[in-house]
Structure 1
Amino acid sequence: MIAVHRVNVWVHDQQAACAFWTEKVEFELRADATFPELGGFRWLTVGPPGGGGPELVLMAIPEPPVVTREQSDLIRTVTSQGLGGAIFLATDDVRRDHALLTARGVEFTEEPEARPYGLDAGFRDPSGNQVRLTQSRHDGGTA
């Protein structure tokens, strides 16, 4: 069986991203390793508590010589504007988790709203990545 294990998320600052995901969203730190032999490359992953579910790889935006300056700037711009795709988080209660995350300082760009597929709210991480908090109809959501 093939399953999603990790998803790469470009971040501007790995330390700020790690703090956001572990302190505000309350994901757990899964891996944090720095490799001097790879120029100080840092492998940093977080995921839902309890070790289940896919991990987010909080990947620093690459710099030259790995990519060109133009490519690095493009990744940074696209990420900042929330155009690099979205992270979809599932919950069984959007309103509860919206309140919890708001109390922890997460700024929502969209309040919980009924959609054809359930309840949905949106926020961004410190790098600008879009995050959707979704409660599917089959999980108790109403539309």
Structure 2
Amino acid sequence: MMNAITLSSIFVLDQDEALDFYVGKLGFEVHTDADLGFMRWLTICVPGTPGREILLERPGAPAHDDATAERIRELVTKGATGGWLGFTTDDIHKTHTELVDKGVEITQEPTVQSYGTDMAIRDPFGNQLRIREAPAA
């Protein structure tokens, strides 16, 4: 039986631009950056959590033919692939300020919800990311 999620994937249109955003602006670490010949295997992780990787995947071979890859790129640009990631932070307001200062697109300001305070951002490709601070105990 499965006991953990260790790898998730999100579509990006340019892996170098994705590195600039996810590592340079959000503070993730590169876990693996390998040229496999037929594709670049590029994963990142939250610092200190190398067992939970996110694959920054370009639509294309070997998983997609050219027509499918083009359609996926169109959907990614529109934010319509359904791809999104969720993260936690200890201080949502500090995180918000840091991201605004780095020019990250905020799509929802920090909002108090029953499950904590959360906000939303958008990566350069249209993917939605949610960031949540748990409510005080």
Query: TM-score, normalising length from structure 2?
Result: 0.88
Amino acid at match of 1:31: T
| Long gaps (5+) in structure 2 | none
Aligned equivalents of 1:7, 1:31: Cα separation in 2: 14
Amino acid at match of 2:40: R
Q: Percent of aligned pairs with the same residue?
A: 36
Tell me by how many angstroms 1:48 deviates: 0.8
- In the other structure, the counterpart of 2:25 is 24
> Matched residue of 2:47: which SS?
coil
Check 1:66–1:57 CA distance in 2 against 1; reply closer, same or farther (3 A cut).
Answer: closer
Which shows bigger deviation, 128-137 or 8-17? 128-137
- In the other structure, the counterpart of 2:44 is 46
Structure 1 ranges of 4+ moved more than 3 A: none
| Long gaps (5+) in structure 1 | none
Query: TM-score, normalising length from structure 1?
Result: 0.85
> Matched residue of 1:105: which SS?
coil
Which shows bigger deviation, 51-60 or 7-16? 51-60
Tell me by how many angstroms 1:109 deviates: 1.0
Residue by residue over 1:55-81, the C-alpha shift from the partner in whole angstroms, topping out at 9 and shown as x without a partner, is: 110011115x75244322321122222
- In the other structure, the counterpart of 1:15 is 16
Aligned equivalents of 1:19, 1:118: Cα separation in 2: 29
1:55 pairs with 2:53: yes
Q: Considering only aligned residues, what root-mean-square deviation do their CA atoms show, in Å? A: 1.9
Check 1:53–1:98 CA distance in 2 against 1; reply closer, same or farther (3 A cut).
Answer: farther
Tell me by how many angstroms 1:92 deviates: 1.6
1:80 pairs with 2:77: yes
How many equivalent pairs are there? 135
